[in-house]
């Protein structure tokens, strides 16, 4: 059994951006952008939108998506994805894709699945990339990850890790580019072995997870190997209406540059 399912958890409620999944960007809902990107993956045998909201479900049904209605009690997208995985036993691998990353690269999804298929010791695989703006490594809103020599995660943090000798942003900006490349932004996409995902949601939130407010630390604290694929660039998330407007302008510029 080597089939893979891509699950896109989607919820209506968002403190900063209510109704975000159905917010229109360049003429289509944000969530549809993500779904279409996932459908271009060559490694996913099925793409499912997991939601507890009938507004999202109805819209997704209309554009032809496979939809799973999940419990409204889930506090995280991981728990929502696990509910779907529990009912779809034919899939050995589960890719949990953020519903607010409309520029997610289908080739990255393929690489996650390929890593799980090729290395049975890896329980979880995720992605990271160097910061485009080095000063962003000091933002608590950007999650950082440090790796061992084999590309496995040692730790995730909202603090800048590894800690530069000069902890001011200008110290990082002035570092040689080779050293700045050590600062990696974690991208919130996860590939799980099905059994690892189902075990993960049974564990209680861990001490470090609570301290950092990062649930991926639960896997590390329980001895799960988390492999990190390092890419040259990543896809930005849409957290606010301003982010959506910026993406709409970017897509409009790209469309104007396309040959007629």
Choose among 103, 53, 45: nearest CA to 80.
53
Q: What's the pTM?
A: 0.92
The pLDDT of residue 170:
60
How many Cα atoms sit within 13 Å of 119 on the Cβ side?
19
Helix, strand or coil for residue 240? coil
- Helix (H) or strand (E) holding 3, with range, is none
Question: CA–CA separation, 225 vs 205, rounded Å?
Answer: 17
pLDDT in 10s for each residue of the chain, 260 residues: 699 999 999 999 777 788 999 999 999 999 999 999 999 999 999 999 999 999 999 999 999 999 999 999 998 999 999 999 999 999 999 999 999 999 999 999 999 999 999 999 999 999 999 998 888 889 888 899 999 999 999 999 999 998 876 655 566 666 666 566 679 999 999 999 999 999 999 999 999 999 999 999 999 999 999 999 999 999 888 888 888 898 888 888 877 776 65
What is the phi-psi region of residue 19: left when phi exceeds 0, alpha when psi lies from -120 to 50, beta otherwise? left
What's the longest Cα–Cα distance across the chain? Answer: 56
Question: CA–CA separation, 147 vs 57, rounded Å?
Answer: 38
The pLDDT of residue 133:
85
**DSSP characters over 11-64:** -S--SSSTTGGG-EETTEEHHHHHHHHHHT-SS-SEEEEEES-HHHHHHHHHTT
The pLDDT of residue 237:
85
Choose among 50, 90, 186, 74: nearest CA to 130.
186
């Amino acid at each position: 059994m080597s089939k893979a399912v891509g699950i896109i958890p989607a919820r209506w409620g968002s403190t900063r951006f209510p109704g975000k999944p159905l917010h229109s960007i360049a003429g289509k809902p944000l969530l549809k952008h993500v779904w279409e990107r996932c459908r271009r993956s060559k490694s996913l045998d099925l793409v499912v939108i997991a939601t507890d909201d009938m507004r999202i479900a109805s819209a997704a049904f209309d554009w032809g998506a496979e939809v799973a209605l999940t419990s409204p009690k889930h506090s995280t997208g991981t728990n929502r994805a696990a509910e779907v995985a529990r009912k779809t036993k034919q899939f050995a691998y589960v890719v949990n894709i953020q519903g607010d990353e409309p520029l997610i690269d289908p080739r990255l999804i393929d690489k996650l699945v390929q890593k799980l298929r090729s290395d049975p010791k890896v329980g979880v695989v995720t992605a990271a990339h160097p910061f485009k703006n080095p000063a962003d490594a000091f933002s608590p809103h950007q999650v950082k990850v440090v790796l061992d020599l084999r590309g496995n995660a040692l730790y995730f943090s909202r603090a800048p890790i590894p800690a530069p000798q000069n902890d001011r942003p200008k110290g990082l900006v002035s570092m040689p580019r080779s050293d700045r490349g050590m600062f990696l932004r974690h991208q919130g996409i996860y590939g799980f072995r099905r059994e690892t995902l189902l075990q993960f949601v049974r564990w209680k939130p861990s001490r470090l997870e609570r301290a950092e407010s990062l649930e991926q630390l639960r896997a590390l604290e329980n001895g799960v190997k988390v492999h990190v694929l390092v890419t040259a660039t990543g896809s930005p998330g849409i957290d606010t209406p301003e982010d959506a407007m910026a993406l709409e302008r970017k897509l409009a510029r790209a469309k104007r540059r396309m040959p007629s």
